[in-house]
Amino acid sequence: MRYEEFYRQSIDEPEQFWAEQARRIHWESPPQQILDQSNPPFRRWFVGGTTSLCYNAVDRHLAERAEQLALVAISSETGVTREFTYRELYWEVNAFAAVLRSLDVGKGDRVVIYLPNMAEAVFAMLACARIGAIHSVVFGGFAAHNLALRIDDAQPKLLIAADAGMRGGKVIPYKPLVDAALNESSAPPPHVLIVDRGLDPQMTRMAGRDLDFAELRRAHEGVEVPVTWLESNEPSYLLYTSGTTGRPKGVQRDVGGYAVAMALSIRTVFDIAPGQVMFSTSDVGWAVGHSYNVYGPLIGGATSLLYEGMPTRPDPGIWWQLCERYGVHTMFSSPTAIRVLKKQDESWLKKYDLSKLKWLFLAGEPLDEPTAQWITEALGVPVIDNYWQTETGWPAITLMPGLELKPTRFGSPGLPAPGYKMKVIDENTGKEVAAGVKGVLVFKPPLPPGCLTTVWRDDDRYVYSYFSHFKELLYSSLDWAVRDEDGYTFILGRTDDVINVAGHRLGTREIEEAVASHPAVAEAAVVGIKDELKGQVPIVFVTLKQDAGDGTGAVTQAMQQCVVDQLGGLAKPSRVYLVNALPKTRSGKLLRRSLQALAEHRDPGDLSTLDDPGALDDIRRALERGPDQGS
């Protein structure tokens, strides 16, 4: 079927289209209604149908592919590779599910998972899905404060953590972060289940609270746990994303709609058939990790490679070596990772047999043309940009080589995916703009299956955050975009105060609050500026209190450390500028866009509302002088 026909049916006849797509998964009981949109912008897909993410990812494959590799967990940090067939995966997930049940975890209970890219992270996610628990994976690089915020919002029955992760050969202890988070939390779970990798011999345990996973697993090995069937619209997992305020949003995903979206996208977008191999380099703590390290490939009956480590360690050929060893068909990574590899000798790409590699997908941040051209020529395979968000759960704009490959266009992720009724509109009038004109990228409800269903325990925030920006009820992506005459979309950047650092969304207000926690800081403004490697990096402009004293180097270093301690290393400002005043409007609004423009040597735009023109001159002088950098 041609793309146009496929997409048009999803828009014109959504119930018929999605009823057909629902046949891609197993339903224990069939849906009674394909779509209920009686309460917009909320919608429910496959109402009344019962299913299970775990059953679709594991059990249903046992009859035909029990001995096929399902999961390969590779760590270039520890030097350990672990391979699991679908049969072995079944038993590992059942044992983990039995452990969860022994700790009184059941349907609807939340489980926070704080693990690196290791096999147990996949087992834990699938075990939660098996018993109807709601998992919330938190990226292992997040600091204790960030973890505590997510614990307080999710209120989990259990936290699962590793003793440590590793990065660049350096051990990163997780347990001290867990302990600090639980001390800060107002809703700490009664138990912490520790997956001890033997990386942190100094790890301490709290008697009665901290439990050893290996010991409990031995006690439950060989136990089979029956599947808990869930109605399609019950929550499957929470994935927290930064907002423009300090409070993270718990993106809530359903069961049936997500399973159908995974089954559809793994085949038609990523061109993965049962038995083929997919290598996604994402961390399981991110949306891509959930969808295309774990659920998508396994629901599709494929083999998934899970990688812990850097793309350059032990050498810049490690990813391509794995592609050769396992016959990778589709690879999914980020522009930042490819820019890292671009700095290495291209001979590493020529060293391995990549004849089975058919596609390289890149997402998470805008893909620049030089990087796209370099990797396309180096690999000799199509490089497919695609656009989506944590909220969408799967690509919203992409090409679909598993259905029909349209021509790629550098700078564009392509065309709308099935079910996404996309428009680019004027931010003031809400009217659709002409081809070639910049506007806000929006989607008309109902959102297709797989997208978030609400914000955890906060329906009002769901409506306010995503559907309140225009008179018409529209989901705002909060991204600027432009479409060409053929419908290809080009993403131009954020409309709000969220920046994208190496594919990771960070709220500028979160960073500002962390900087302002230093006692010498009077006021702080954070903006994201372009970076050749990471896409964007945060920089901060700071005014100090009158009694801050001297020693600006020590102060700026301490500010940066406040950010690292509260939000993690990803959020650390790359530059700190000490200024006398920040540019504001007469109503007191901070002119972040003007700050960003000046930092990037662009026109700061209309400054007619500026309260103090001298503040802008002060910013220019600070930029000319250079950052007051502590480290």
Q: What is the pLDDT of residues 309-331, one digit of tens each?
A: 999 999 999 999 999 999 999 99
Most confident listed range (364-373, 429-438, 518-527): 429-438
- Cα–Cα distance between 64 and 274 in angstroms, integer? 10
Query: 3-class DSSP state for residue 64?
Result: helix
Question: What is the per-residue pLDDT for 607?
Answer: 62
pLDDT at 279 over 60: yes
Question: What is the per-residue pLDDT for 143?
Answer: 83
Q: What is the pLDDT of residues 566-603, one digit of tens each?
A: 888 888 998 999 988 888 755 455 777 788 888 888 87
Residues 6+ apart with CB under 8 A from 478: 440, 469, 494, 495, 496, 498
Q: What is the pLDDT of residues 62-84, one digit of tens each?
A: 999 999 999 999 999 999 999 99
pLDDT at 147 over 90: yes
Work out the mean pLDDT of the chain and round it to a whole number: 91
pLDDT at 388 over 90: yes
Mean pLDDT within 325-346: 90
pLDDT at 188 over 80: yes
Question: What is the per-residue pLDDT for 591?
Answer: 77
Q: Chain centroid to CA 451: how far?
A: 13
Among residues 414, 437, 431, which one has the least CA distance to residue 487? 414
Q: What is the pLDDT of residues 40-50, one digit of tens each?
A: 999 999 999 99
H or E element that contains 249: strand 249-253
Banded pLDDT at 609 (limits 50, 70, 90)? low
Sequence-ordered strand ranges (E) for 415-565: 415-416, 421-425, 439-444, 454-455, 475-483, 489-494, 498-501, 504-507, 521-531, 535-544
Mean pLDDT within 434-449: 96
Most confident listed range (123-127, 165-169, 342-346, 348-352): 123-127
Mean pLDDT within 616-622: 85
pLDDT at 457 over 50: yes
Banded pLDDT at 244 (limits 50, 70, 90)? very low
Quote helix, strand, coil % in the chain, to nearest 5.
35, 25, 40
Banded pLDDT at 242 (limits 50, 70, 90)? low
Query: 3-class DSSP state for residue 289?
Result: helix
Q: Please, which residues bridge with residue 542 across strands?
A: 524, 578
Q: What is the pLDDT of residues 78-102, one digit of tens each?
A: 999 999 999 999 999 999 999 999 9
**Environment class of 429 (CB within 10 Å of its CB; exposed 0-12, middle 13-18, buried 19+):** exposed
Question: What is the per-residue pLDDT for 497?
Answer: 66
Q: Please answer whether residues 8 and 33 qualify as being in contact, where contact means their C-beta atoms are separated by less than 8 angstroms.
A: no
Mean pLDDT within 20-28: 98
Question: What is the per-residue pLDDT for 631?
Answer: 46
Strands 44-47 and 249-253: unpaired
Banded pLDDT at 550 (limits 50, 70, 90)? low
What is the pTM (predicted TM-score) of this model? 0.84
Domains and CATH numbers, the chain: 3-309+386-444 (3.40.50.12780), 498-625 (3.30.300.30)
Banded pLDDT at 386 (limits 50, 70, 90)? very high
Only one residue has tokens 């969220």, namely: 498
Question: What is the per-residue pLDDT for 559?
Answer: 87
